[in-house]
Amino acid sequence: MRIVFIGPPGAGKGTQSLRLAEKLGIKHLSTGDVLREARELGTELGLEAAKYLDDGQLVPDDVVVRLVAERLNGPDCKQGYLFDGFPRTLPQAEALDRLLAEHGGMPLDLAVEFVIEEEELMSRLWKRGRSDDKEETVRERLRIYADLTKPLAAYYEQRGVLRRIDAVGALEEVFARLWDAVQSAGS
């Protein structure tokens, strides 16, 4: 299966995607994790990403699309994949469509939108305390989400692959809803 997750910061995309990718036996790719790892290693990509990460800004589309294109070429993506946090903008979604067309023309099977209230997000991120989880930065990330990422739900709805899930509740409850969404994909 080819799956993407859309949702505001702290919605639980990372948490749920690891479990789902393991259950389905497909590759999990979090662009956020790759960017943070590159920053810790001080690579060229990491130095570029560092300028944006702590301020809650999106890393430029061309940088992220290059990163995903490299990974899509890997043999571990042949059985399918779950992209967690990509695409995050319309140009990224369009670039992904182009990449998929180049990779044998197989379209996405499923785009999952995590639906959750702002207060719940703030409290989760406050508890996590990552370097980009400060209140002001989270507000900026939420603003960017509403402006640039949320419109992707309509993009995927038009293609008939969108499923929305309620992201509030215990991890197992959310996972059960996600699993139902996976089961219903394509029907």
Residues with catalytic function: 13, 88, 128, 130, 141
Contacts with ligand B4P, 22-41, as mask; x by CB under 6 A: --------xxx--x------
* Per-residue CA distances from 135 to 55, 64, 94, 167 (Å): 11, 25, 31, 21
Please indicate if the annotation marks 46 as binding a ligand. no
Cβ partners under 8 Å of residue 19, min gap 6: 175
Distance between start and end Cα atoms, the chain: 14
* Bridge partner list, 110: 3
Please indicate if the annotation marks 58 as binding a ligand. yes
- Give the shortest CB-187-to-ligand B4P separation in angstroms: 26
- Cβ atoms within 10 Å of 130's Cβ, excluding its own: 14
Q: Find the binder of ligand B4P among 2, 3, 10, 112 (CB under 6 A).
A: 10
Cβ partners under 8 Å of residue 22, min gap 6: 28
Extract the annotated binding site. 10-15, 31, 36, 57-59, 85-88, 92, 128, 130, 141, 169
Contacts with ligand B4P, residue ranges (CB under 6 A): 7, 9-15, 30-32, 35, 52-53, 56-59, 64, 85-86, 88, 92, 124, 128, 132, 141, 169, 171, 174
